[in-house]
Structure 1
């Protein structure tokens, strides 16, 4: 595929966007687009690993609304991996990695997502470059280009 054809297949997003997680009750979360982060992360509470049919799974709660811990979405997902992740403050933590679908605008695709407490962060979700590579162009001056 030519470089110009590849560029035409990309769609433009802003530095923050509303995203949907169809596998988790269609939960909508305001996400920060962060090309400095390799992996995407979502704010999760009550993270608890368990086994199902010989595989490792995780149960957790999403609190998708900023500054609101009363709206909770119970979730379960198969564990894809466990990774050591270095946060923006340099702290290294072990996190569960799951694979789920992300809907951004009218497009949906699978992403790897780490489960993390993001209480002190400005956004409940961070979309890293791996989830966006080959699909999007980012307009750092724009917000919510995919709708609100």
Structure 2
């Protein structure tokens, strides 16, 4: 579970994917606008199981071609915002994408992890306060 404090998003289930370069957040882009000379984007993050919609605003950093796991390249908006994983908080870039068919609404890619974390693929929930770590399969 991660926090995106400037977006008002707390306890967001996230999957670590060291094979993905860019992190991704499930969102529906509502509008792009300018504020004080900077480009912003307003988007909605839906948590369907809780039937909650959070409206967020973030600085629009870029448009990028992102190749998904099925090999398809999509042009996506990229925003930059602080993220908290465990006790570590830092700014990271996220592409905004429709992840409604995915198990996790957020994917944390290797660019966000670089020089901050060591990934142990044999465990889960190591950085989530209140969750007991789960060990992976051992043959």
C-alpha distance in structure 2 between counterparts of 1:69 and 1:58, whole Å: 24
- TM-score in terms of structure 1 length: 0.81
C-alpha distance in structure 1 between counterparts of 2:127 and 2:59, whole Å: 29
- Equivalences, count: 129
C-alpha distance in structure 2 between counterparts of 1:52 and 1:135, whole Å: 32
User: 2:106 aligns to what?
Assistant: 125
Q: Which runs of 5+ in 2 are unaligned?
A: 132-139
Structure 1 stretches of 4+ with a deviation exceeding 4 A read none
User: 2:135 aligns to what?
Assistant: none
Does the 8 Å CA contact 2:29/2:41 hold for their aligned counterparts? Answer: no
Moved more, 45-54 or 32-41: 45-54
- TM-score in terms of structure 2 length: 0.86
C-alpha distance in structure 1 between counterparts of 2:83 and 2:12, whole Å: 11
C-alpha distance in structure 1 between counterparts of 2:98 and 2:30, whole Å: 9
Q: Cα distance, 1:27 vs. partner?
A: 2.3
User: 1:78 aligns to what?
Assistant: 59
SS of the residue corresponding to residue 112 of structure 2 reads helix
Higher-RCO chain (CA-CA 8 Å, sequence separation at least 6) = 1
C-alpha distance in structure 1 between counterparts of 2:52 and 2:59, whole Å: 23
Residues 25-44 of structure 1 mapped to structure 2, 5 A cutoff = 25-44=8-27
SS of the residue corresponding to residue 80 of structure 1 reads strand
Q: Which runs of 5+ in 1 are unaligned?
A: 1-17
Does the 8 Å CA contact 2:3/2:85 hold for their aligned counterparts? Answer: yes
Residues 43-54 of structure 1 mapped to structure 2, 5 A cutoff = 43-54=26-37
Residues 30-78 of structure 1: CA deviation (Å, up to 9, x unaligned): 1110011000000002432122233321000112x4x526211110111
- Aligned Cα root-mean-square deviation (Å): 1.4
Q: Cα distance, 1:26 vs. partner?
A: 4.1
User: Do residues 95 (structure 1) and 84 (structure 2) align?
Assistant: no
